[in-house]
Chain A
Amino acid sequence: MDQGSAAGTGGTLISLSDSEQRCYSGLYALCQPDSSGKLAAGKVAELFRASQLPAETLHQVTEVCGAKRLGYFGCGQFYGALKLMAAAQAGLPVRLESIAGELPLPVFVGITNELEMRYPNQPLTNESQSHILGSVTGSAPRPPADRPVLRHPDTSMDKQEVWSPPQSPGISPPRSPSAYRSYPYGAQRNGTDTLLVYEAKVPGLPSVPQENSSPSHYSLRLQPEQPVITRVASVERLVERVEVDYSDDPWRITEEQREYYTIQFRSLQPDLSALIMGTVAKNFFTKSKLPILELSHIWELSDVDKDGALTFPEFCTAFHLIVARKNGYPLPETLPATLRPGFVEAAVVTAPPSEKIGSVDLQMTSRQGVTTKQEARDESRKPAEFSPKRIPEPHEKPTQHVSTLKPDSPQELDANMKSRTRPRSYSSTSIDDAMKKVEEPPTPPPRPQKTHSRASSLDLNKLFQQSGQGSRRSQHSLSAKSGWLPPPPALPPRPPATQIFSFIPGSEKSSQKVVQQPNFADFSKFREEQETSVRGGLSTEDLTPPKLDSTVVHQGHAPQKPVRRKIHPESQSATPPSATPYSAATLTKSTQRPPPKQKREIQMAIRKNRETNAVLTRLNSELQQQLKVVHRERVTLESQLELLRPVAST
């Protein structure tokens, strides 16, 4: 089967639109193609007659499309002929050029204009079985009667793939997918029973236009009533079954299909929002026995974000395309609008006008018994009523899709985001990742320039004040935390030698602390907010309970720690506990924060320990610097000694 284009008539390629493809493939099937793809001449002739074109036009059509030359109607010729007939009906001359553009579908009187045209009086050939079934059930006047009939075949032969709704997977017989296109899969249905049944119903319905979709919908409705969901089919069976419900638009996923896809997705990947890896999907889809090239094409179509994995909407799309392909629909070149991941959102907002219009047109022009789930309900399948019904249908359909597909929207969002960013990552929460990525850049902590000496403390204070204000502003947002980290306490500054000495005495601590007091409030706020936003709850740190008890009594203890931290260039001996007497003094300064006190205490303990660590680290670095200096001195002394020794020796 050509993918997406009619074979050239006389070598020229003619492209078909989706609706045309569907219609034509249905007609093609109707004409009973044999194994090599040739169509039965009798059926073709009937079809042509039904088009109500004058005989010479038909002759022209036959000539132009190349069938006359070949002597038979192959796929390409047939398609060409259909297009030419459409052109002729539209008043255009029967020429190849006239079919180059968009044409309405050809109208065949006496034959359903829908996708599935069924001749009820057809012999019980394989391919026409479903037609018959369809026609019988679809007949408007007897919808109630059809129900039992439908039930009958359903119960009697579960093998009817047409009847098996996607919900009850796994009942269809393994059909040779490539035998026939469109619905009437040529599988050897043990349809004699049903055929007989239908035959009984059929008499006198020679030209009742039916589409099999209506019966299929019937069956769909019935099936739920008799759930046969027990069997879980292989992909192949599934495909056969799921072909139902293509009524309006084979590229639209119906509810049953979506449910089925969901089940299959879950079998591969329990989390609906996660991804199915490429290899997993490959193994799964290979079971459908489609050629690798087609599977490759399907993958290309459905993996919109190009990450080598399938999200749930992508999976549905791929599955749906596989189903369509197995049912004989040629693969489209681009993803149909209804299968795009953004479909749901579009449907939510405004059912995409193009798609709606398209479906409306389809229904108006081609189908009469198009049935969606909703329609299946209303028995009034009178052809006359379809047109008006069609219009509300598209509205309903998208909304229905919307309602059921809403859960997919976050995944689609994911897909969209992914497609935008193309991260080629396999994270299941791309939104989170994106957010994190967004968060990361702002986090570069304001590294204090610890180069300077005492003055640095003031700078740092300023810095902290700014950061404190900033944090205050953003205290209630998580991102605040990431955006405003406190200057990492662990930064071992390399204070100049002078500082080292000043460091050692450490007696200035008190004075410095006092100096820092005005900033305590800021710090406390800053730190506390940091902590609260970070922790968000009681943390189970049992760092130094005793210290905690002694020191962390009030809020505002925190300020001590940051203060000390900032002071690091000046000095401090790492004795957090000694800060406690000062903490009392600073308690009053601390801002009275709403957060619970216990949390505070713990947080303060944490802070304290952190500060202790920081102080110790600093101390370590400073001591090391001292060591270096001392070492240098030693070296110089030794060299001097060396110099002196020879002198002394001599």
Chain B
Amino acid sequence: FLICVAIRANYPLYIRSVPTQGELKFHYTVHTSLDVVEEKISGVGKALADQRELYLGLLYPTEDYKVYGYVTNSKVKFVIVVDSSNTSLRDNEIRSMFRKLHNSFTDVMCNPFYNPGDPIQSKAFDSIVSTMMVQAC
């Protein structure tokens, strides 16, 4: 399973998951992970844009998830939730995924018709995320 979320000011601009069942659980996971992200942001005074990872801190004992976080310079958070059974995903791959997300996100931002804070409806963004998620799974 793989979830990608773009969050701005603590409400999601974009959520995409593969597969689509059990989304609610992932939503909850994502939401709780926000706390951890915030904590990391405030803690580190520099290098805010570093790709940071949340590891297993907030897992249910029964299920394993890896939750990865990433924050841009404008405090837009990206969260990827990955099933732990999917051990094929390495750190580098996650980083590259975040980088792609970030690039696509900036493309969306460049569109003057997009108001920051709106849900992301860009097809290009969708397609990029879809291909990325398909690759990862």
Which residues on the B side are within 8 Å of A55 (C-beta)? Answer: none
Which residues on the B side are within 8 Å of A293 (C-beta)? Answer: 121
A427 at the interface (CB under 8 A from B): no
A281 at the interface (CB under 8 A from B): yes
Residue among B107, B110, B123 making CB contact with A297, cutoff 8 Å: B123
B101-137 Cβ-contact flags toward A at 8 Å (1 or 0): 0000011001111100000011110000000000000
* Residue from A278, A281, A307 whose CB has the most chain B CB atoms within 10 Å: A278
Chain B residues packing against A (C-beta within 8 Å): 106-107, 110-114, 121-124
Which residues on the B side are within 8 Å of A278 (C-beta)? Answer: 110-112
Contact A306 B113 (CB under 8 A): no
Give the docked Cα–Cα distance between A296 and B112 (Å): 8
A284-313 Cβ-contact flags toward B at 8 Å (1 or 0): 010000001101110110010011100000
Give the docked Cα–Cα distance between A450 and B10 (Å): 57
Which residues on the A side are within 8 Å of B124 (C-beta)? Answer: 300
Which residues on the A side are within 8 Å of B111 (C-beta)? Answer: 278, 296, 299-300, 303, 308
Contact B113 A279 (CB under 8 A): no
CB-CB contacts below 8 Å: A316-349 with B: 333
CB distance from A335 to the nearest CB of B (A): 11
A281 and chain B: residue at smallest CB distance: B112
Give the docked Cα–Cα distance between A399 and B121 (Å): 38
Chain A residues packing against B (C-beta within 8 Å): 278-279, 281-282, 285, 292-293, 295-297, 299-300, 303, 306-308, 333, 424
Residue among A296, A333, A424 making CB contact with B113, cutoff 8 Å: A296
Give the docked Cα–Cα distance between A299 and B111 (Å): 7
Contact B110 A296 (CB under 8 A): no
Which residues on the B side are within 8 Å of A292 (C-beta)? Answer: 113
Which residues on the A side are within 8 Å of B113 (C-beta)? Answer: 282, 285, 292, 295-296, 299
Which residues on the A side are within 8 Å of B114 (C-beta)? Answer: 296
B124 and chain A: residue at smallest CB distance: A300
Contact A308 B112 (CB under 8 A): yes
Give the docked Cα–Cα distance between A202 and B106 (Å): 56
Which residues on the B side are within 8 Å of A279 (C-beta)? Answer: 112
* Residue from A292, A297, A300 whose CB has the most chain B CB atoms within 10 Å: A300
Q: Is the interface of A mostly helix, strand, loop or mixed?
A: helix
Give the docked Cα–Cα distance between A292 and B121 (Å): 11
Which residues on the B side are within 8 Å of A296 (C-beta)? Answer: 111, 113-114, 121-122
Give the docked Cα–Cα distance between A244 and B72 (Å): 46
Contact B123 A307 (CB under 8 A): no
Give the docked Cα–Cα distance between A282 and B114 (Å): 10
Contact A303 B121 (CB under 8 A): no
Contact A303 B123 (CB under 8 A): no
B121 and chain A: residue at smallest CB distance: A293
Give the docked Cα–Cα distance between A308 and B112 (Å): 7
CB distance from A298 to the nearest CB of B (A): 8
Which residues on the A side are within 8 Å of B107 (C-beta)? Answer: 300, 306
Which residues on the B side are within 8 Å of A306 (C-beta)? Answer: 106-107, 110
CB distance from A420 to the nearest CB of B (A): 15
Give the docked Cα–Cα distance between A306 and B103 (Å): 10
Give the docked Cα–Cα distance between A299 and B114 (Å): 10
CB distance from A13 to the nearest CB of B (A): 15
Contact A300 B112 (CB under 8 A): no
CB distance from A388 to the nearest CB of B (A): 40
Give the docked Cα–Cα distance between A297 and B122 (Å): 7
A292 and chain B: residue at smallest CB distance: B113
* Residue from A285, A296, A306 whose CB has the most chain B CB atoms within 10 Å: A296
Give the docked Cα–Cα distance between A119 and B25 (Å): 58
Which residues on the A side are within 8 Å of B112 (C-beta)? Answer: 278-279, 281-282, 299, 308
**What are 15 A-to-B residue pairs whose CB atoms are below 8 Å?**
A278-B111, A278-B112, A282-B112, A282-B113, A285-B113, A295-B113, A296-B111, A299-B112, A299-B113, A300-B123, A303-B110, A306-B107, A308-B110, A308-B111, A333-B123
- Other A-B pairs, 9, CB within 8 Å; known A299-B111, A308-B111: A279-B112, A285-B113, A296-B113, A297-B122, A300-B111, A300-B122, A300-B124, A307-B110, A424-B110
* Residue from B106, B111, B122 whose CB has the most chain A CB atoms within 10 Å: B111
CB distance from B106 to the nearest CB of A (A): 8
Give the docked Cα–Cα distance between A300 and B127 (Å): 12
A305 and chain B: residue at smallest CB distance: B110
Which residues on the A side are within 8 Å of B110 (C-beta)? Answer: 278, 303, 306-308, 424
Give the docked Cα–Cα distance between A306 and B114 (Å): 14
Give the docked Cα–Cα distance between A186 and B8 (Å): 44
Give the docked Cα–Cα distance between A300 and B126 (Å): 12
Give the docked Cα–Cα distance between A444 and B111 (Å): 38
* Residue from A279, A281, A299, A333 whose CB has the most chain B CB atoms within 10 Å: A299
Give the docked Cα–Cα distance between A308 and B106 (Å): 10
Which residues on the A side are within 8 Å of B121 (C-beta)? Answer: 293, 296
Give the docked Cα–Cα distance between A278 and B113 (Å): 8
A285 and chain B: residue at smallest CB distance: B113
Give the docked Cα–Cα distance between A333 and B111 (Å): 16
Give the docked Cα–Cα distance between A281 and B110 (Å): 12
Give the docked Cα–Cα distance between A300 and B107 (Å): 8
CB distance from B3 to the nearest CB of A (A): 24
CB distance from A419 to the nearest CB of B (A): 12
A333 and chain B: residue at smallest CB distance: B123
B113 and chain A: residue at smallest CB distance: A296
* Residue from B107, B111, B113 whose CB has the most chain A CB atoms within 10 Å: B113
Which residues on the A side are within 8 Å of B123 (C-beta)? Answer: 297, 300, 333
Give the docked Cα–Cα distance between A296 and B122 (Å): 7
CB distance from A14 to the nearest CB of B (A): 18
Which residues on the B side are within 8 Å of A303 (C-beta)? Answer: 110-111
CB distance from A40 to the nearest CB of B (A): 33
Give the docked Cα–Cα distance between A573 and B29 (Å): 76
* Residue from A279, A292, A306, A424 whose CB has the most chain B CB atoms within 10 Å: A306
A290 and chain B: residue at smallest CB distance: B113
Give the docked Cα–Cα distance between A295 and B112 (Å): 9
Give the docked Cα–Cα distance between A144 and B78 (Å): 66
Which residues on the B side are within 8 Å of A307 (C-beta)? Answer: 110
A308 and chain B: residue at smallest CB distance: B110
Which residues on the B side are within 8 Å of A300 (C-beta)? Answer: 107, 111, 122-124
Give the docked Cα–Cα distance between A621 and B8 (Å): 54
CB distance from B132 to the nearest CB of A (A): 17
CB distance from B44 to the nearest CB of A (A): 26
